[in-house]
Amino acid sequence: MTRVVGVIQARTGSNRLPGKVLRPLAGRPVLEWVVRAARDVQGLDEVVVATTTEPGDDAVEELGRRLDVPVVRGSVDDVLSRFLQAVEGRDADAIARFTSDCPLLDPEVASLVVGTWRSRPSLDHVSTVSPRCLPRGLDAEVASVAALQRLAELLSTPDLAHHRTHVTSYLYTHPEEFEVAGVTLHPDASDLRVTLDTTEDLALIEALVERLGDRPPSWREVVAALRADADLVAINAGVRQKSLDEG
């Protein structure tokens, strides 16, 4: 039997919005939104939070303890090594990667991606970003542990170090070197943004939660709300997404 472990990367040291993972959203921390949604994903054997050894992330560990979710602490910048550390001793064959700045994660989308990998476990990477079809902040992905271990050896030079920060980015940007599959959902909504990185992003997500309620929404609900109200989209329309090499 194959085992898939969901790993949520979380840290308080964000440059653009410090402490964002602990910000309250409808009465619960943003990280709790992600943990709650990840626990609803079908096909996961376990959910783990991977944070850093920085003192500021003691609060992340404390929240994990309160939510009864295992917390592993590792490198600040080498997030790839932190992910591999998170599954040590857990007999994981693959990792479903979640980020704590995506509180509107749709468990059904992640379940579809996990199920796709489980149907063909020889795949190195399955995601909704090959090509991207969902709003930024709603993507889901699974990578085999074997592929991530290979990356740990491959990404050993300074010019490739930024890929270690993004964990899986080398996989989907170099599909000629790995077995990569994409899950595409329609209609395309890749122009939209519901990830949490700035105060504008937070304002948009708060507005969406006020409309959709304190629950993991479906991606179609999120897209429908944004398509129906241009003023909502305008809230964070000016936010520039950082490139991969910016970390």
**Per-residue model confidence as pLDDT tens digits over 118-133:** 999 999 999 999 999 9
| pLDDT band of 1, cuts 50, 70, 90 | confident
N-term to C-term CA, the chain = 35
Q: What mean pLDDT comes out for the span 159-165?
A: 89
Print the domain residue range for 135: 4-246
Q: Tell me the C-alpha distance between 184 and 62, whole Å.
A: 37
Q: Tell me the C-alpha distance between 20 and 201, whole Å.
A: 11
Q: In total, how many domains does the chain have?
A: 1
* Matching residue, tokens 């560990």: 61
183 class by beta-carbon count within 10 Å (0-12 exposed, 13-18 middle, 19+ buried): buried
E strand or H helix that includes residue 82: helix 79-86
CATH number at residue 131: 3.90.550.10
Are 160 and 154 in contact, with CB atoms under 8 Å apart?
Answer: yes
CA-nearest of 9, 19, 8 to 202 is 19
pLDDT recorded at residue 148: 96
| pLDDT band of 14, cuts 50, 70, 90 | confident
Q: What mean pLDDT comes out for the span 52-63?
A: 97
